[in-house]
Structure 1
Amino acid sequence: MPERQIRLLGDPVLKTRSEPIGTIDARVRSLVEDLLDSVKLPGRAGVAAAQIGVNLRAFSYNIDGDIGYILNPVLVELAGEPELVDEGCLSVPGLWYPTKRYPFARVTGIDLDGNPVALGGEGLLAQALQHETDHLDGLLYLDRLDKESRRAAMKEVRESDWF
Structure 2
Amino acid sequence: MAVLPIQITGNPVLHSPAADVTSFDDELATLVADMFETMEAAPGVGLAAPQVDVPLRLFVFNWTDDDDTLWRGVAINPTLWVSPVPIGPADEDEESEGCLSVPGERFALRRSQLAMLTAVDLDQKPFEIRAEGWLARIFQHEYDHLDGVLYVDRLDHAASKAAAKAVKKSGWGEPGLSWMPGVDDLEG
Same fold (TM over 0.5): yes
Q: How does 1:1-163 map to 2 (within 5 A)?
A: 1-41=1-41, 43-64=43-64, 65-78=70-83, 81=86, 84=90, 85-160=95-170
Q: Is the 8 A contact 1:40 1:67 kept in 2?
A: no
Give the AA of the match of 1:102: S
Q: Give the alignment's TM-score, normalised by structure 1.
A: 0.91
Unaligned runs of 5+ in 2: 65-69, 174-188
Q: Is the 8 A contact 2:85 2:111 kept in 1?
A: no
Q: Is the 8 A contact 1:36 1:67 kept in 2?
A: no
The 2-side partners of 1:37 and 1:82 are apart by: 37
Deviation at 1:104, TM superposition (A): 1.3
Q: Go from structure 1 to structure 2 and tell me whether the alpha carbon gap of 1:82 and 1:73 turns closer, same or farther (over 3 Å shift).
A: farther
Give the AA of the match of 1:40: E
Q: Which has the higher strand share?
A: 1
Report which structure shows greater RCO (CA 8 Å, sep ≥6): 2
Structure 1 residues 57-85: Cα deviation after superposition (integer angstroms, max 9, x where no partner): 00000112532111011112335636721
- Paired residues in the alignment total 163
The 1-side partners of 2:143 and 2:85 are apart by: 18
Unaligned runs of 5+ in 1: none
Q: Give the alignment's TM-score, normalised by structure 2.
A: 0.80
Q: Is the 8 A contact 2:85 2:110 kept in 1?
A: no
Matched position secondary structure for 2:7 = coil
Q: Go from structure 1 to structure 2 and tell me whether the alpha carbon gap of 1:62 and 1:13 turns closer, same or farther (over 3 Å shift).
A: same
Q: Percent identity?
A: 38
Q: Is the 8 A contact 2:17 2:146 kept in 1?
A: yes
Structure 1 residues 5-31: Cα deviation after superposition (integer angstroms, max 9, x where no partner): 110011111001000111212221121
Matched position secondary structure for 2:55 = coil
Q: 43-52 vs 75-84, which deviates more?
A: 75-84
Q: Go from structure 1 to structure 2 and tell me whether the alpha carbon gap of 1:94 and 1:109 turns closer, same or farther (over 3 Å shift).
A: same
Give the AA of the match of 2:139: L
Deviation at 1:44, TM superposition (A): 0.7
